[in-house]
Amino acid sequence: MPPPSRTAAPWPAAWRSRVDVAAETDWRRLLERDDVHLVDICTPGDRHAEIAVAALRAGKHVLCEKLLANSVAEAEAMVAAAETARARGRLATVGFHYRRTPAVALARRMIRNGRIGTLRHVRASYLQDWLVDPEAPLTWRLRREQAGSGALGDLGAHLVDLAQYLAGERLAGVSAVTGTFVRERPRPTGGRGTVTVDDAALFTGRFPSGVLVSFEAGRVAAGRKNALRIEFNGAHGSLAFDLEGLNELAFHDRTEPADAVGFRRILVTEPGHPYLEAWWPPGHGLGYEHAFVHQARDLVHAIAAGAEPAPFFADGLQVQRVLAAVEDSAAKDCTYTSVPCS
């Protein structure tokens, strides 16, 4: 997504007097406070490893927004820190929040319950268009040293996590091409600078079971505002999700009578759907941020229960390895490149 331009506004004093909150502008000060138990890391990716490792060492629980890190090495260090912390009862999780969008959670439940049978295909794409304009500014998301990669890490990481999480398998290897269509953009501070990340990344892969998986992440697909789409085709049916209609899940059930079969549009707004027991009456949709609410809820419950909440830092590391394999493959004429196991 485009980086926020908002600057930190001071808390209104009148409001501060009525609610017990406080703010720090140096993250190290947060770690020194005894009344802070949980740290949510929302910085650009180049600071994740440093802050997360320090926070875990300081005895905090950690929610690190995705990407876990900007490199496999950083992610490995974070996993090590998380393992040490866990021995002391401190928990770490990475913020692949789309897992907690109700329609996605329902898709996982249905796949687990065998509703679509043995998987054959997964196809996943995440398309946006905020870089179509060649005069869109050169923000940190377009610089490799801060963002790690471009559409690949920003959008593709979500796809990799969702495809693996919902299918219950991990990619054995990938073949990839990437592209950058606009090479120079205006710096926010004046002048022009070089884009050092990808505008788009396309890759294919296989799960060990033989499932064929395709991915596309891109930020120059005119008119696609937030089009995270993922489809699963199985031997008994199919499921498809599109974030631009985030309260819906498409489901095809091959076992229906042949004359009445078709993709159905499940409105994932009913009492029996994941997370919906706490929300509105039937048919009343949720928004983008509710996935974050569910993430916070699940995390707090997990901490209370002393059980580490998925996705683990190890999941974040594995996604990092997939992204690294994608970049390797793209550098080697798309040749199939294995993803190392942990």
Nearest residue (CB) to a second copy, 44 versus 51: 44
CA distance 328 to 74: 18
Question: Nearest approach, Cβ of 300 to a second copy (angstroms)?
Answer: 12
Q: Which is nearer to a second copy, 57 or 120 (CB)?
A: 120
Q: Scanning the structure block, which residue is given the tokens 């949709």?
A: 285
* Nearest residue to 197 via CA among 175, 225, 220: 220
- The residue (of 33 and 121) whose beta carbon lies closer to a second copy is 121
Residue 208 phi, psi dihedral angles, 5° rounding? -55, -30
Contacts of 233 (CB under 8 A, 6+ apart): 116, 119, 120, 121, 122
**Nearest distance from residue 72's CB to a second copy, in Å?**
22
**Min separation Cβ 142 and a second copy, Å:** 15
Written as one string, the DSSP assignment of 72-136 is HHHHHHHHHHHHHHHHTT--EEEE-GGGGSHHHHHHHHHHHTTTT-SEEEEEEEEE--TT-STTS
Contact 72, 78 (CB under 8 A): no
Residues 293, 101: Cα–Cα separation, whole Å: 10
Shortest separation between residue 188's beta carbon and a second copy, angstroms: 17
Three-state SS at 229: strand
Q: Which amino acid is at 124?
A: A
Nearer Cβ to a second copy (246/319): 246
Residue 308 or 327: the one with the smaller Cβ distance to a second copy is 327
Of the candidates 180, 188, 199, 190, which has an alpha carbon nearest to the alpha carbon of residue 138?
A: 188
Among residues 314, 317, 315, the alpha carbon closest in space to that of 73 is found at 317
- In the bound state with a second copy, the residue whose beta carbon lies nearer, of 144 and 206, is 206
Q: How far is the CB of 18 from a second copy (least distance, A)?
A: 5
Nearer to a second copy, 29 or 265 (CB): 265
CB 318, min distance to a second copy, A: 21
Minimum gap (Å) between residue 110 Cβ and a second copy:
7
Select 52 or 243, whichever has its Cβ closest to a second copy.
243
Structure tokens at 119: 């998987």
- Distance of closest approach, residue 190 Cβ to a second copy, in angstroms: 23
Q: In what order do the strands lie in the sheet with 119-127?
A: 248-253, 237-242, 227-234, 119-127, 212-218, 200-206, 173-179, 337-338
Q: Which residue has the tokens 């120079």?
A: 184
